[in-house]
Chains A and B, each alone.
Chain A
Amino acid sequence: GQQVMQIPQYQHVQEGEDFTTYCNSSTTLSNIQWYKQRPGGHPVFLIQLVKSGEVKKQKRLTFQFGEAKKNSSLHITATQTTDVGTYFCAELSNYQLIWGAGTKLIIKP
Chain B
Amino acid sequence: EAQVTQNPRYLITVTGKKLTVTCSQNMNHEYMSWYRQDPGLGLRQIYYSMNVEVTDKGDVPEGYKVSRKEKRNFPLILESPSPNQTSLYFCASSSSGLNSYEQYFGPGTRLTVT
Contact = CB atoms under 8 A, between A and B. Distances in A.
A43 B90 contact: yes
A99 B43 contact: yes
Given A43-B105, A96-B58, 11 more contacts: A9-B40, A41-B107, A42-B90, A42-B107, A48-B100, A92-B101, A95-B101, A97-B45, A97-B101, A99-B44, A101-B40
A44 B92 CA distance: 10
Q: Is the interface on chain B under 10, 10 to 19, 20 to 34, or 35 or more residues? A: 20 to 34
Interface in B72-114: 90, 92, 100-108
A49 to B, nearest CB: 11
Nearest to A4: B42
A33 B40 contact: no
Nearest to B96: A95
Contacts of A48: 100, 102
Given A96-B48, A100-B42, A101-B41, A42 B31 contact: no
Given A42-B105, A42-B106, A48-B100, A95 B31 contact: yes
A42 B23 CA distance: 14
B27 interface: no
Interface of A: 1, 6, 9, 33, 41-45, 48, 88, 90, 92, 95-97, 99-102
A33 B106 contact: no
Q: Which are the 3 A-B pairs with shortest beta-carbon distances?
A: A42-B105, A101-B42, A99-B42
A90 B92 CA distance: 14
Contact of A45 (B50, B102, B106): B102
A97 B92 CA distance: 11
A95 B59 CA distance: 12
Contacts of B58: 96
B76 to A, nearest CB: 15
B104 A88 contact: no
Of A6, A96, A101, most B-chain CB atoms within 10 Å: A96
B104 A45 contact: yes
Contacts of B44: 99
22 contacts: A1-B59, A33-B102, A41-B107, A42-B107, A43-B90, A43-B92, A43-B105, A44-B105, A45-B103, A48-B102, A90-B43, A92-B101, A95-B48, A95-B50, A96-B45, A96-B48, A96-B58, A97-B103, A99-B42, A101-B40, A101-B41, A101-B42
